Structure 1
Amino acid sequence: MKAFNTTLRTLVLALGLTGGLVSFSSSAAQADRAPVVQQQACACFDVTVVGQGPAVILIPGVASSGEVWQSTVDLLKADYQLHIFTLAGFAGVKPLPMQSWGEGYLATQQQAILRYISEQQLDKPVVIGHSLGGYLALALAANAPETIAAAINVDGLPALGALFKQNSAQGNGQTSSTTSDNKPQQNRGGFDPMSMAKSMASNEQWQQRIVADMYRSDGATSGRVMGELMRADLRPQLGKIRVPVLTLGALQHGAPYSTPEQVQANYETQLANAPAEFHRFAFARDSKHFIMADAPDWLNQQIQQFLAKQQG
């Protein structure tokens, strides 16, 4: 379990540092982004709308752009109206002023997404989210089942901090700071974004994309959101799920220190409160955290089949 602990520690550190490390590139990156439709009531995200048909909302994770969904968009745009989000503070989107976070970023985004659904008059969209987006998809399935039709959680967890504590205990409390390739991290200034990207995707082009999105993201937002995710615990609310939910897990996310069987068991334990009649799992055995990078065909097949069942 050491890889999970060290990777997560490094991620929290990294995202807290990115604002100081990469602020010089933010304005240029924003100029390169394609035009988007900005959500009006609250600048909580930028949205690009593509295609026609039943509505599907696609939400990326911390320090990620909506472009992570491009292969999924290409597959689905002929049959669905896709609302592709990039959340505030990430990948060149202007951060929310922290005094406007209210109960926190996670709660603010949940309310903003529900408001967007209402204002755009979307008829019970399916919500698909990766990582942080997966957490939000689970939260909406539990807390607003009357508003959405279904949800897909791509490698997100309802209680990240609880898993961190559990794995720390199983690792005999080891807390030495190392990077994901097991080399000591000498100091805060020695953080290597590429090492982090390699721990989350095996595909080299995607590693470059992940790093680029990190450099375009607001470090203060990323660090505080990771802190919220570490404190959040959605598990007691999962029993309220009343719409179909699919969780797609990446079984190489803890490699080489955790076996695929251990990673799968963690998912099943974390989501045990979700009613079996509404929730099911599928696992990408050879993928790290960014399943869209390491197993895109498998991911898109799972999404397409799930959406087809909702239409049937």
Structure 2
Amino acid sequence: MSAPKTWSDYQLSFSKVSLICPIDVERVKTRWLEAFAPDLERRPKVLSPGVTFFTLTTLRSWPRMLTQSGTGSPPFIHPSQLWNSDYPPPLARCVNMAHMWANQVSGGEDIVRETVLREAQALFELDENSSSNDMGRLVTLQAYLLLCLMLLPSSPDEPMNMPQQVKINLQELTARSAKDGLLCHAEQSGSRPDHLSWILAEAKRRTLYAVYIFDDVVNTLNEMPCVLGDELGILPMTCSKMLWLGCSSQETWEEQYNANLAAGRHLRLEELWIHPADEKTRKRRERWLAAVDEFGLMIYAVASITQLH
């Protein structure tokens, strides 16, 4: 896909994309309630101290990626979203916030925190009153998530000082984005989607997975229960590193996607939760792991180590 000249052109190119939403978005929207009154039918899970430290430090690295050249973009933002001559306005402001956050001096933490909170609230209100298309709403969600990551403590030993409303708003934005669709029609039928539809669907799923990881970390740091996000189980797992980062044109992407299709249907998130796995599932996991990027490895590591009850 050639890079449009402006963000507006890029956003407009997604106006006719139509996706399917195969999940219950109400469970996404109200997930924060599970920390206070878990559904008895939901599977509890426990993040060990080691898993908590690993995920916390990884999450905090993503906004820092916006401030360092040569590090790429956070793993839920597709490279094409940042190819344009101007960044999407929500992400452009988020980059400014990330620089301020990454370079804060001792004694200035409260000022940075309040500035990030104000920007997050402004983004939420902007989305409420916006007529943006699906890509526009996704970018707002991505920027809001990055702001939330800046509010995390630098270690599990530090106090968790995040207003509950911030998490509620994040899950509201996530549900709105998910409601617009998470799956291409062609993905559902096992064929190759068009490039634009796939970019949007894959970026939305990755952002959704990142939100759920963030939610688990926040609950754990607050010593509140976590539950398995089984409403996401039927969704495809993250794509290969080559598809996400290595295809410089639509033609090379189509060739790589066709090769992936020839190897079999996509792995579903719920297949990571099968313990012990049967031989068929184990082989499907191994094929996926052989090609996946660092974000997929993170999801696999957390899913494999986390204790399910």
Note whether the superposition's TM-score is higher than 0.5.
no
More strand by share: 1
Q: Tell me the TM-score normalised to structure 1 length.
A: 0.29
Bigger RCO of structures 1 and 2 (CA < 8 A, at least 6 apart): 2
Q: Tell me the TM-score normalised to structure 2 length.
A: 0.29
